[in-house]
């Protein structure tokens, strides 16, 4: 299965997918897309000779438009798009061209602590300030509303003893690095089914 991974920053989830032994025979990451041409994630991708593309919602000389990307993805036969820290809103037309084939990892337990503005440390600060005792990671299908699509997988972590939002971020990131490869594996194995609007993961 050919995958594209969308990133904006350091790319630790991209690295987790690249390094996951259990995915080696199942997936090929054939494109990494970012809205920032100088992100750390591109460095990770380039070391593995993965094609990198910079995308923008506006016409510019050093980036592609989503419509260009669509053509490239069809050519590369991409069947799954993973959003791993991608901070730009993806146009609705692009999303509908890949309906049911785009997933996102969110660093909290949706439907809490999601939506517009809830990204990066903002999420962990909100969780910390709420005094919540658990947080975690969520992988969900992407539709045209931020953090809104059906939840595929989640894992929780105890944060009752933390003293800072940075500590929450660290614990959640550890979970993300396992949950995302696990979920991608299940998708690649065709073990995700939707019954009555609930996503079931088969053994
Ligand atoms: C992760 O916490 C992910 O859940 C969120 O953005 C962060 C990306 O981190 N959507 P990285 O670039 O994968 O290190």
Report whether residue 10 contacts ligand 1, using a CB cutoff of 6 Å.
yes
Name the one residue in this structure whose structure tokens are 């962990």.
124
**To which H or E segment does residue 20 belong?**
none
- Atom 1 of ligand 1 has which residue's CA nearest to it? 85
Q: Are strands 2-7 and 78-83 parallel, antiparallel or unpaired?
A: parallel
Cα 62 to ligand 1 centre (Å) = 24
Report whether residue 114 contacts ligand 1, using a CB cutoff of 6 Å.
no
Contact assessment for residue 23 and residue 188, using Cβ atoms and an 8 Å cutoff: yes
CA distance 131 to 173: 19
DSSP helix, strand, coil percent of the chain (3-state; round to 5): 35, 30, 40
CB atoms within 10 A of CB 140: 24
| Three-point CA angle 52, 57, 91, nearest 5° | 95
Which pLDDT does position 127 carry in this prediction? 98
Q: Do you find a cis peptide bond into 111, omega within 30 degrees of 0?
A: yes
- According to DSSP, residue 63 is labeled B
pTM of the model: 0.96
CA distance 65 to 79: 19
- Atom 8 of ligand 1 has which residue's CA nearest to it? 85
Cα 178 to ligand 1 centre (Å) = 13
CA distance 98 to 101: 5
CATH superfamily for domain 2-201: Formyl transferase, N-terminal domain (3.40.50.170)
Report whether residue 176 contacts ligand 1, using a CB cutoff of 6 Å.
yes
Q: What is the atom index within ligand 1 of the atom nearest the CA of 172?
A: 2
Cα 126 to ligand 1 centre (Å) = 16
* Residue 106 bears catalytic tag: yes
| Three-point CA angle 41, 47, 51, nearest 5° | 70
Token output for 15: 């690295």
Predicted confidence pLDDT, tens digits, the chain (203 residues): 999 999 999 999 999 999 999 999 999 999 999 999 999 999 999 999 999 999 998 888 889 999 999 999 999 999 999 999 999 889 999 999 999 999 999 999 999 999 989 999 999 999 999 999 999 999 999 998 889 999 999 999 999 999 999 999 999 999 999 999 999 999 999 999 999 999 999 99
Cα 35 to ligand 1 centre (Å) = 14
Report whether residue 123 contacts ligand 1, using a CB cutoff of 6 Å.
no
Which pLDDT does position 57 carry in this prediction? 87
- Atom 5 of ligand 1 has which residue's CA nearest to it? 85
């Amino acid at each position: 299965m050919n995958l594209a991974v969308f990133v904006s920053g350091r790319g630790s989830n991209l690295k987790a997918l690249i390094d996951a032994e259990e995915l080696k025979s199942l997936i090929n990451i054939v494109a990494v897309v970012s809205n920032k041409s100088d992100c750390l994630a591109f460095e990770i991708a380039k070391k593995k000779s993965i094609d990198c593309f910079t995308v923008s919602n506006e016409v510019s000389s050093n980036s592609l438009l989503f419509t260009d990307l669509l053509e490239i993805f069809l050519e590369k036969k991409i069947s799954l798009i993973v959003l791993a820290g991608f901070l730009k809103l993806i146009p609705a037309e692009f999303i509908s061209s890949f309906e049911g084939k785009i997933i996102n990892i969110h660093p909290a337990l949706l439907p809490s602590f999601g939506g517009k503005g809830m990204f990066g440390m903002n999420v962990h600060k909100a969780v910390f300030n709420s005094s919540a005792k658990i947080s975690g990671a969520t992988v969900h299908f992407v539709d045209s509303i931020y953090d809104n699509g059906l939840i595929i997988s989640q894992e929780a972590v105890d944060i009752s003893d933390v003293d800072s939002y940075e500590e929450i971020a660290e614990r959640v990131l550890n979970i993300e690095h396992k949950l995302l490869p696990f979920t991608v594996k299940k998708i690649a194995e065709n073990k995700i089914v939707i019954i009555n609007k609930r996503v079931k993961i088969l053994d």
